[in-house]
Amino acid sequence: MRFFCLFALLAPVDGAAPTYSRDVAPILFRHCGGCHRPGDVAPMSVLEYKSARPWAKSIREAVVSRRMPPWFADPSYGHFSNDARLSEAEIKTIREWVDAGAAEGDRAQLPPVPKFVKGWHLGDPDLVIDIGQDFQVKPGADDYQHFIVPARLAQGRWIRAVEFRPGNRAVVHHGHVNLVRGREEAGATTIESMTPLAKYLEREGSLTRVRADAPVLDDACVANAPDLPYLRGYQEGAFASFLPGRPPDVFAEGSAKWIPAGAQLEFVIHYARISGAPQTDRTSIGLYLAKDPEKILHRMDLRNFFFRIPPGAAAHTVRRCYEFEKDKLLLSITPHMHFRGKDVRYELIRPSGARETLLSVPGYHFDWQLVYRFAQPVRIEKGSRLEVTAHYDNSPNNKANPDSSAAIRWGDKSEEEMMTSWIEYFEAEPGRKPTAAGPSSN
């Protein structure tokens, strides 16, 4: 009896309470199915009524609180093509569906269930390259491994997309792929090769960190900053990356990256700490060839290696600036910090002095390292300055904080910190179109 009263109160006047088949499935398929499907990262599948129904209450809660889908950019700044947020109308539909009893409705009204290729999200790759061994991950500590394998290309190739496929999702936390010419050059874009930095570093097995007694520079934007390595300009970014919540690297429309003949690939894989039995991983990447690319896609990485976060600090500021040495078109920004990362903001100062915020992430989460892709490339003139301001929460109030009593410096380990931004861009004046023989040399 009570049920009927409640139902009568909440159902729309015409009796058409939202149903899964007609109203809710289209939303869930589109915004949730990429992760909430059998065999993927998220707990339940939303692709079927019977697997989604038991989660109806949590689904309502997760969408009303906007905890799902994961998206952390402040909507007051910038427009992003991969903005995952649901509209108010979509949230209302889900809320009303749950409040009215989460009915299935007429199955004939179901939209087509999205087809996900088993394994590769992007479909069958043109080339697959793996780490060359079944690597044993031992229980205990975090592990960073570098694997160098030949790409086995007789001729150079333009690549339009790269999918990084963890061999064992339970152990692969994240990873990067760099192009190197040989073992001697291994880590060309990684920490090993950063010779000027070497004297400030120490190693613990396969892990690297900045020494506790290295100089400290939290604000690398100050005019009289000491001349420490890698605080100006930028470094070439990795060829491709895999992070939790990050979709495969599909390069912007018409653009590509070049792999030269004879190239070797360096896989840098962060294996998460495991307990129990050892596990095996054989991670691979799928490469998708570009036919006739118009442009070259670039990625610059900006870092500050010299911050020090005091014990207990609740909002410690770390900054890094970059002056544009030529005109560029910015395509995306990926902020990267660890457990203590709290928020980060990207402000641009044009040569005219005009200041604008390109991206603000007020609630950063290590679990979700998202890429923010601009809806339109942002044109930036030479002489503009980008200011990256991040805050770290090393207080006991940060639930993710592994240890609030320690002073924290830069380090590979998740328990240490990073301050990195990856920025994809096109050159505003790209010169000649790339040819089948490789990047033109002007």
CB of 188 to ligand HEC, least distance (A): 31
Per-residue burial over 387-421, b = 16 or more CB atoms within 10 Å of its CB, e = otherwise = bbbbbbbbbeebeebeebebebbbbbbbbbbbbbb
Nearer to ligand HEC by C-beta: 68 or 214?
A: 68
Does 335 sit behind a cis peptide bond, omega within 30 degrees of 0 on the bond before it? no
Nearer to ligand HEC by C-beta: 70 or 383?
A: 70
Q: Write down the H helix ranges in 75-126.
A: 88-99
CB of 147 to ligand HEC, least distance (A): 26
Nearer to ligand HEC by C-beta: 37 or 345?
A: 37
CB of 43 to ligand HEC, least distance (A): 5
Rounded-to-integer distance, Cα 431 and Cα 345, Å: 32
The residue whose two tokens read 């073992």 is 183
Give CA 377 to chain center in angstroms: 18
The residues of the shown chain that bind ligand HEC, judged by CB under 6 A, are 31-32, 34-36, 41-43, 55, 58-59, 62-63, 67-70, 86, 245
Q: Write down the H helix ranges in 40-177.
A: 49-52, 56-64, 88-99
Rounded-to-integer distance, Cα 303 and Cα 320, Å: 7
Q: How many CB atoms lie within 10 A of CB 157?
A: 21
Nearer to ligand HEC by C-beta: 69 or 411?
A: 69
DSSP bridge pairs for 341: 392
Nearer to ligand HEC by C-beta: 86 or 302?
A: 86
Find all residues with CB under 8 Å of 367, minimum gap 6, and list them.
244, 245
Q: 196 in helix, strand or coil?
A: helix
DSSP bridge pairs for 301: 235, 422
Rounded-to-integer distance, Cα 300 and Cα 422, Å: 6
Nearer to ligand HEC by C-beta: 68 or 228?
A: 68
Nearer to ligand HEC by C-beta: 36 or 409?
A: 36
CB of 69 to ligand HEC, least distance (A): 4
Nearer to ligand HEC by C-beta: 33 or 434?
A: 33
Nearer to ligand HEC by C-beta: 25 or 228?
A: 25
Tell me the residue ranges of DSSP E strands in 115-263: 127-130, 135-137, 143-150, 157-165, 172-180, 201-204, 207-210, 235-236, 240-242, 249-250, 255-259
Instruction: Tell whether the torsion through CA atoms of 432, 434, 437 and 442 is positive or negative.
Output: positive
CB of 67 to ligand HEC, least distance (A): 6
CB of 434 to ligand HEC, least distance (A): 32
CB of 424 to ligand HEC, least distance (A): 19
Nearer to ligand HEC by C-beta: 28 or 186?
A: 28
CB of 418 to ligand HEC, least distance (A): 21
CB of 279 to ligand HEC, least distance (A): 19
CB of 72 to ligand HEC, least distance (A): 12
Find all residues with CB under 8 Å of 302, minimum gap 6, and list them.
234, 235, 320, 322, 386, 388, 420, 421, 423
- In degrees, to the nearest 5, what angle opens at C-alpha 315 toward C-alphas 84 and 71? 5
Rounded-to-integer distance, Cα 32 and Cα 27, Å: 8
Region of residue 278 (left: phi > 0; alpha: psi -120 to 50; beta: else): beta
